[in-house]
Amino acid sequence: MHDVGSLAGAAEFETPEIEVFENPVKHYDYFTRTTNKRFITKCPITEAEDYTILTVEYKPKDLCIEHRSLRRYMASFRDKTVSHEALLARIMDDVLKACDPYSAVISADCEVCEGTTTQLQMKYDNIEAIVDFESKRFRENANKNSRTKAEDTHVDK
From the candidates 3, 43, 99, 109, which is the catalytic residue? 43
Strand partners, 33: 57
From the candidates 50, 94, 99, 110, which is the catalytic residue? 50
Exposure letters 46-78 (e unless 16+ CB within 10 A, then b): eeeebebbbbbbbbbbebbbbeebbeebbeebe
At a CB cut-off of 8 Å and minimum separation 6, what does 123 contact?
Answer: 103, 104, 105
50 catalytic? Reply is yes
At a CB cut-off of 8 Å and minimum separation 6, what does 68 contact?
Answer: 19
113 catalytic? Reply is no
Q: Which residues are catalytic?
A: 43, 50
